[in-house]
């Protein structure tokens, strides 16, 4: 079953091209990494995929449905089947760890209180944070917060998980812990998309990779294929050399969209 | 969920405080123009109203018992003053007199009523017959100057 | 011209924003719970500031007015004069400005922080309506609290004025209340101020929430949002106060 499909998707905002005729598809059970320098279009890619942005040209399909044609309720239903780990963790600072994970469950389902509590305990145990229920996000270290966010992302056992820059800014121990968790969850018949700019970290947890640069797909294939690619940009990335220039930037995009050019 | 109860109580207390304060202000700290007053109106005509204004106090023995509603001009160029007595319990005789006095030397004009002795009472929209006009400073100065002038004349004559 | 266009664009954006939020009435118990929490956070916790400010203003206006009235021999009307100014102008405007400072900056910073932390996007992904859960409760909390705070300001001012008059100026207690009861009208004066404070509440909440939601995600975004909120909200309060006063000028006796 096809999970995501991009059909010649382009996005032009304020005269800038943020996505240039990108075609892409992903199937159930696949784990794909999206890589590129900062501002290349990785977050834009995610936003287009999840319906936060509408393409100027082309169509985006999620679980086989055209995202831009969905009603708000249908889009909401699709999104609820997806677990997402945010770059900033996006934990609610006024609530305890337990409330952070339990809130979406309590909001949508009418489960007995004890069942919800047990579910939270289970998920926290899965990420190795048993006993952290009463803590507040500000009391957690970066790695712990990330794992709490991960616990929340998998709390409803989604089939599709998205990780937005999970390794960025984490120490090696946390990174390896995250990778172990990712491999653990992925065994259970899930698909995932991991956005990162570290090719080495990515190659340990995904099978296929997409290299994006200036809104265009530079390479798409298995990890081996991409590593052996002779595309100039890809080589820069693998070698870690930094002579790339960027015209576009995601930060500016957000500001533009907010303020309308 | 004890913090829940605390918040509920807090909000409830705030609303209660608001309502109580509003009622306090309504009854003790402002005129109750939201209920129809149970008073009655009287009319008094003056030759000179001398700056009497609406909402000026109407007093008996210095105590405010009503206020001036409006001041207008009659066909004979008199000042037609409509006053409102706040309470229907306050009965005034038909020979009550109305005077326009001033508070302090340059202060607020107000109407002072002196109760009369008649047995008949004034009813809603009756006229007060006995009125005396307001005091105008310029007239007094004029009088003083005239007096001073007469004094000079007398002095000159007696010399 | 382009800055004019940008300004109109932003104005239109903020108008559509407030319409969206106003339409997001609570539909679950959590939403109602949030409303109560916000009223406590934004209303109850501002009461102290309002009471203190009210008492100081009450005392100042009383003292200031007394010296002026003494010239005309109308000292007995001091309480009425004080209350008149307070009910009609000072209470709503000062409450508006104080709330713009405390509550406005708080809301702008809080919502801006949530925006930067991707919490709104997260809520959307989780299928939770952020308008109903986060924005509407805060808007309603401010709108409900403002008139109450206004009333408390008035009360505090009157009480402190009472103390100044009876203890400091030697005015008999009875004259204080008598003048108050005759010089100010509940409907025309006090309610006039109350209606103003209601309008000011909407203005402050609107500006604060909008600035927070549309914070620019650069380094200074949050600081800019907060300061803009306090400044714009305060100035708007003063401007709208002028408009309301001018319009209703002919109505008063």
Would you say residue A138 lies in a domain?
no
**Distance separating alpha carbons of residues C107 and C102, to the nearest angstrom:** 9
**Distance separating alpha carbons of residues A143 and C213, to the nearest angstrom:** 28
The yes-or-no verdict on residue C253 having pLDDT over 50 is: no
Structure tokens at A85: 């780990």
B57 three-class SS: strand
A94 three-class SS: coil
DSSP for B67-94, written as a single string = EEEEEEE-TTS-EEEEEEES-TT---BT
Mean pLDDT of the A106-133 span = 91
| A74 touches C at CB < 8 Å | no
Structure tokens at C90: 């000072």
User: What does the pLDDT read at residue A259?
Assistant: 46
Number of domains in chain A: 1
Per CB-CB distance under 8 Å, the chain A contacts of C126 are 79-80, 104, 107
Higher pLDDT, B105 or C124: C124
What is the rounded average pLDDT for all residues in chain A? 85
- H-type alpha helices, A141-216: 142-153, 172-187, 199-203
Mean pLDDT of the C203-214 span = 95
A31 three-class SS: strand
CB-CB contact of A71 with A51 (8 Å): no
User: What does the pLDDT read at residue B105?
Assistant: 64
CB-CB contact of B55 with C253 (8 Å): yes
Tokens 């409509």 -> residue: B82
Chains adjacent to A (≥3 CB pairs closer than 8 angstroms)? C
Higher pLDDT, A43 or A82: A82
Mean pLDDT of the A58-74 span = 89
Higher pLDDT, A61 or A256: A61
User: What does the pLDDT read at residue A147?
Assistant: 93
Cβ separation C184–B104 shorter than 8 A? no
Q: Specify the DSSP element, H or E, that contains C239.
A: helix C221-248
Per CB-CB distance under 8 Å, the chain A contacts of C11 are none
What is the rounded average pLDDT for all residues in chain C? 90
CA distance C69 to chain B (A): 9
Task: Mention every residue, 6+ apart, whose C-beta is less than 8 A from residue C210.
Answer: C14, C17, C18
**Distance separating alpha carbons of residues C171 and C217, to the nearest angstrom:** 59
Mean pLDDT of the A212-234 span = 83
Mean pLDDT of the C118-145 span = 94
Higher pLDDT, C99 or B98: C99
Q: Specify the DSSP element, H or E, that contains C10.
A: helix C2-22
How many residues does the structure list for chain C? 253
A104 three-class SS: helix
- C-alpha dihedral (C151, C155, C157, C158), degrees to nearest 10: 140
Write out pLDDT tens, residues C29-47.
Answer: 889 999 999 999 999 999 9
**CB nearest to A255's CB, from C116, C117, C216:** C216
Would you say residue A158 lies in a domain?
no
Mean pLDDT of the A73-82 span = 90
Cβ separation C6–A107 shorter than 8 A? no
Domain assignment of residue A258, given as a range: 1-75+197-261
Would you say residue A1 lies in a domain?
yes
Please compute, for residue B50, the number of CA atoms within 13 A of its CA located in the half-sphere on the CB side.
23
Residue of C nearest to B11 (CA): C40
* Burial of B66 per CB tally in 10 Å (0-12, 13-18, 19+): buried
Write out pLDDT tens, residues A153-186.
Answer: 999 888 899 999 999 888 898 899 899 988 888 8
Q: Which residues of chain B have pLDDT under 50?
A: 1
Chains adjacent to C (≥3 CB pairs closer than 8 angstroms)? A, B
Would you say residue A113 lies in a domain?
no
Portion 189-218 of C in contact with B at CB < 8 A: 189-190
**Distance separating alpha carbons of residues A216 and A7, to the nearest angstrom:** 13
Residue A49 maps to which CATH number?
3.40.50.300
User: What does the pLDDT read at residue A261?
Assistant: 52
Write out pLDDT tens, residues C136-183.
Answer: 999 999 999 999 999 999 999 999 999 999 998 888 888 888 888 877
User: What does the pLDDT read at residue C246?
Assistant: 87
**CB nearest to C119's CB, from A79, A92, A259:** A92
Cβ separation A88–C10 shorter than 8 A? no
| A254 touches C at CB < 8 Å | yes
User: What does the pLDDT read at residue C79?
Assistant: 86
Per CB-CB distance under 8 Å, the chain C contacts of A255 are 216-218
Would you say residue A211 lies in a domain?
yes
Portion 55-114 of C in contact with A at CB < 8 A: none
Portion 42-81 of C in contact with B at CB < 8 A: 43-44, 47, 72-74, 76-77
| B9 touches C at CB < 8 Å | no
Residue of A nearest to C118 (CA): A90
| A86 touches C at CB < 8 Å | yes
| B16 touches C at CB < 8 Å | no
Would you say residue A36 lies in a domain?
yes
Per CB-CB distance under 8 Å, the chain B contacts of C83 are 29-30
Portion 174-233 of C in contact with A at CB < 8 A: 214, 216-218
Radius of gyration of chain C (CA): 21
Please compute, for residue A112, the number of CA atoms within 13 A of its CA located in the half-sphere on the CB side.
3
User: What does the pLDDT read at residue B1?
Assistant: 46
Quote the pTM value: 0.81
Band (A248; pLDDT cuts 50, 70, 90): very low
């Amino acid at each position: 079953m096809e999970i995501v499909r991009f059909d010649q998707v382009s996005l032009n905002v304020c005269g800038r091209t943020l996505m240039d005729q990108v075609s892409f598809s992903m199937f159930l059970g696949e784990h794909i990494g999206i890589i590129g320098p900062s501002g290349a279009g990785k977050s834009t890619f995610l936003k287009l995929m999840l319906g936060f942005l509408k393409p100027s040209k082309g169509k985006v399909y999620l679980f086989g449905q055209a995202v831009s044609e969905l009603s708000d309720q249908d889009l909401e239903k699709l999104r609820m089947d997806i677990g997402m780990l945010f770059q900033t963790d996006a934990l609610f600072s006024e609530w305890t760890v337990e409330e952070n994970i339990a809130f979406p469950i309590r909001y949508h389902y009418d489960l007995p209180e004890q069942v919800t509590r047990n579910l939270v305990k289970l998920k926290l145990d899965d990420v190795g944070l048993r006993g952290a229920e009463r803590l507040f996000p500000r009391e957690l270290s970066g790695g712990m917060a990330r794992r709490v966010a991960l616990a929340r992302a998998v709390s409803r056992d989604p089939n599709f998980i998205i990780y937005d820059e999970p390794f960025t800014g984490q120490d090696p121990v946390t990174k390896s812990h995250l990778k172990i968790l990712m491999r653990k969850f992925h065994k259970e018949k899930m698909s995932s998309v991991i956005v990162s700019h570290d090719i080495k970290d990515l190659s340990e947890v995904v099978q296929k990779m997409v290299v994006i640069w200036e809104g265009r797909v530079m390479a798409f294939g298995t990890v081996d294929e991409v590593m052996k690619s002779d595309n100039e940009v890809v080589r820069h990335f693998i070698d870690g050399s930094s002579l790339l220039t960027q015209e576009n930037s995601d930060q500016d995009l957000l500001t533009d969209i907010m303020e309308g050019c | 969920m004890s913090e829940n109860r605390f918040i509920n109580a807090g909000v409830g207390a705030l609303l209660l405080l608001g309502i109580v304060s509003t009622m306090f202000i309504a009854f003790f700290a402002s005129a109750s123009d939201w209920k129809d007053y149970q008073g009655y109106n009287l009319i008094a005509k003056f030759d000179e109203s001398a700056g009497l204004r609406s909402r000026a106090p109407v007093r008996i023995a210095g105590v405010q018992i009503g206020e001036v509603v409006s001041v207008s001009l009659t066909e004979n160029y008199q000042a037609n003053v409509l006053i409102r007595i706040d309470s229907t319990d306050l009965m005034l005789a038909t020979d009550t007199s109305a005077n326009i006095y001033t508070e302090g030397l340059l202060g607020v004009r107000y109407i002072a009523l002196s109760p009369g002795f008649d047995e008949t009472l004034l009813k809603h929209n009756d006229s007060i017959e006995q009125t005396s006009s307001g005091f105008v400073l310029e007239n007094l100065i004029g009088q003083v100057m005239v007096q001073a002038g007469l004094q000079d004349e007398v002095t000159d004559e007696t010399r | 011209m382009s800055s004019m266009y940008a300004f109109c664009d932003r104005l239109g954006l903020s108008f559509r924003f407030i319409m969206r939020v106003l339409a997001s009435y609570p539909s679950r118990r959590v939403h109602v719970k949030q409303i109560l929490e916000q009223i406590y956070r934004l209303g109850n916790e501002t009461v102290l500031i309002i009471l203190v400010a009210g008492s100081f203003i009450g005392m100042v206006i009383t003292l200031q007015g007394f010296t002026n009235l003494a010239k005309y021999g109308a000292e007995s009307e001091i309480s009425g004069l004080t209350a008149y100014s307070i009910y009609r102008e000072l209470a709503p405007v000062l409450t508006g400005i104080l709330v713009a400072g405390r509550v406005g900056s708080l809301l702008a910073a809080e919502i801006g922080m949530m925006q930067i932390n991707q919490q709104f996007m997260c809520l959307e992904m989780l299928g939770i309506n952020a308008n109903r859960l986060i924005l509407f409760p805060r808007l309603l909390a401010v709108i409900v609290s403002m008139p109450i705070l206004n009333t408390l300001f008035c009360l505090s001012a009157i009480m402190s004025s009472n103390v100044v008059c009876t203890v400091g100026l030697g005015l008999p207690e009875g004259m204080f209340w008598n003048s108050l009861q005759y010089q100010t009208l509940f409907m025309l004066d006090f309610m006039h101020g109350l209606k103003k404070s209601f309008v000011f509440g909407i203005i402050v909440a609107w500006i604060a929430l909008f600035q927070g939601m549309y914070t620019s995600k650069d380094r200074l975004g949050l600081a800019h949002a907060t300061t803009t909120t306090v400044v714009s909200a305060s100035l708007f309060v003063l401007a709208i106060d002028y408009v309301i006063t001018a319009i209703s000028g002919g109505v008063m006796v």
